[in-house]
Amino acid sequence: MGDVVVIGAGIAGIQTALDLANHGIVVHLIDREPSIGGHMAQLDKTFPTNDCSMCILSPKMVEVAQHNNIRIYTCAEVESIEGAVGNFTVTIKKHPRYIDESLCNGCGDCIQICPVEVYNRFDAGIGVRKAIYKPQPQSVPDIVIKDADHCIECGLCYDACGLDAIKEKQEDTTLRIMAASIVIATGYTVFDANKKAQFGHLALPDVITSLELERMINASGPTGGRVMRLSDGTTPKSVVFIQCVGSRDMSINRPYCSCVCCMQAIKNAMLIKEKNPQTEVTICYMDIRAYGKGYEEYFERAKSMGIGFLHGMPSDVIADREGMMIQVENTENGEVQVLHPELVVLSVGISPSIGTGKLAEQLGIPVEETGFMKPVHDAVETVATIKPGIYIAGTIVAPKDIPDTVAQAGSAAMLAFIDAIRK
């Protein structure tokens, strides 16, 4: 039997790895970040059930970490792939963590003492972390990483660590893995809202993205779950969501629908209402796409909670004397409405993860015009690629929600399993 390499350890890669490992296949799970988990680890609740995202994901992350058939490689990227189905050689480069992974027990004493605070990517820009840090509260592996770009080498953490686990110098290491098949699950990145500068992201402090809102609304996030205006820390009395920012927009050559943004806006609108029933919440939309099981009912529930749905797309967000102003034509009655929200949330679209083009080239598989990886057939062979033994799963194929991602991961695992047992 051969091994399988899974590249990307979000929910797609994690599910693929578990399905294979539970059927006796040794899986090498590679992620370029210092923890596995991907975007699902950043979310607060998940539509349409409003289950806590980490309550579903974290047990799977722990199972991966403890599974005898799974080897995890974090801070790692693919350098080259050679061979063919049944006999791939995958060369990976593991970037330095500046930590001896075999010694660190994740106690966190070094984090406490580190004096440097920097922007925290996991908190989507609205929180800070130390120069030595755990990437997320429930990191797997549960160890720290030292950020060499921001560390000032004051030496405090070296003194705090009783296990001598922190290293001043560490080099890249190269590893070679033999595998019968490969699954690519490298996921997505969110649209950079600054490319639609008219909406004021970064220029106006109370314009945030949907991913920033996920971190803000999360009880273990940077605001302890309080939805607030970043300008003054107060609870907003009115919130406006602007949909399709970076989706279905020919002016920036992004014609496709990002699939999850309508539902995530409805979800977060409901969570805001539940926390602060007095807050007025309006969603400005082109169409509401509630296509999945239970999604239409979810949309109806939001309406019954008093969330406003305004059929019309604002062209910009303007700073005025009252704070912020949005003008929008309600296309249902032709009236122009003027809104003065205290917080604006931009529902940003989804793009293939950064570096997808390079990875696809290394693998010899084509990408679509949109940049997503191309399956053999969009209707009936959605996880196979033109290269036998190389499969794709999750949002690297196209935008999709977690249930569809997990289903596709199971399908990719099945095909990779067949190659592995033929070996």
Residues of the shown chain interacting with ligand SF4 in the complex, contacts defined by CB under 6 A: 99, 104-110, 113-114, 116, 131-132, 143-144, 146, 151-157, 160-161, 163, 165-166
Residue 131: name its binding partner from ligand SF4, ligand FAD, none (Cβ under 5 to 8 Å by kind). Answer: ligand SF4
Nearer to ligand FAD, 166 or 181 (CB): 181
Kindly state the tokens that stand for 219.
């009880």
| Smallest separation, CB 113 to ligand FAD (Å) | 28
Residue 55: name its binding partner from ligand SF4, ligand FAD, none (Cβ under 5 to 8 Å by kind). Answer: none
Residue 40: name its binding partner from ligand SF4, ligand FAD, none (Cβ under 5 to 8 Å by kind). Answer: ligand FAD
Half-sphere exposure of 263 (CA within 13 A, CB side): 25
Cα–Cα distance for residue pair 311/334, rounded to 1 Å: 10
Residue 163: name its binding partner from ligand FAD, ligand SF4, none (Cβ under 5 to 8 Å by kind). Answer: ligand SF4
Q: Give the type of residue at 253.
A: N
| Smallest separation, CB 96 to ligand SF4 (Å) | 13
Alpha-carbon distances of 15 from 137, 147, 180, rounded to whole Å: 21, 29, 19
User: In a 3-state reduction of DSSP, which class is residue 191?
Assistant: coil
Who contacts 6 (Cβ-Cβ below 8 Å, separation ≥6)? 13, 16, 17, 20, 27, 28, 29, 30, 182, 183, 185
Q: Give the type of residue at 359.
A: L
Identify whether the C-beta of residue 259 lies closer than 8 Å to the C-beta of residue 400. yes
| Smallest separation, CB 374 to ligand SF4 (Å) | 42
Nearer to ligand SF4, 158 or 256 (CB): 158
Residue 132: name its binding partner from ligand FAD, ligand SF4, none (Cβ under 5 to 8 Å by kind). Answer: ligand SF4
Kindly state the tokens that stand for 145.
């990483």
Who contacts 316 (Cβ-Cβ below 8 Å, separation ≥6)? 198, 199, 200, 326
Kindly state the tokens that stand for 216.
């803000």
Nearer to ligand FAD, 61 or 161 (CB): 61
Q: Give the residue closest to ligand FAD by C-beta.
A: 10
Nearer to ligand FAD, 20 or 165 (CB): 20
| Smallest separation, CB 174 to ligand SF4 (Å) | 24
Cα–Cα distance for residue pair 216/221, rounded to 1 Å: 6
Nearer to ligand SF4, 114 or 406 (CB): 114
Nearer to ligand FAD, 2 or 187 (CB): 187
| Smallest separation, CB 248 to ligand FAD (Å) | 15
| Smallest separation, CB 227 to ligand FAD (Å) | 14
Nearer to ligand SF4, 21 or 161 (CB): 161
Would you tell me how many other CB atoms lie within 10 Å of the CB of residue 194?
A: 11
Nearer to ligand FAD, 95 or 237 (CB): 95
The single-letter DSSP state of residue 166 is B
| Smallest separation, CB 235 to ligand FAD (Å) | 21
Nearer to ligand FAD, 140 or 328 (CB): 140
- Per the omega criterion (within 30 degrees of 0), is the bond before 48 cis? yes
Cα–Cα distance for residue pair 272/24, rounded to 1 Å: 44
Planar angle of CA 180, 182, 184, nearest 5 degrees: 175
| Smallest separation, CB 290 to ligand FAD (Å) | 12
Quick one: residue 334, left, alpha or beta (phi over 0 = left, psi -120 to 50 = alpha)?
left
Binding residues (CB under 6 A) for ligand FAD: these are: 7-13, 30-33, 38-40, 43, 46-47, 77, 185-188, 190, 210-211, 214, 260, 264, 267, 353, 355, 359, 394-395, 400-403, 405
Would you tell me how many other CB atoms lie within 10 Å of the CB of residue 274?
A: 10
Cα–Cα distance for residue pair 367/361, rounded to 1 Å: 9
Residue 166: name its binding partner from ligand FAD, ligand SF4, none (Cβ under 5 to 8 Å by kind). Answer: ligand SF4
Identify whether the C-beta of residue 140 lies closer than 8 Å to the C-beta of residue 53. no
Residue 160: name its binding partner from ligand FAD, ligand SF4, none (Cβ under 5 to 8 Å by kind). Answer: ligand SF4
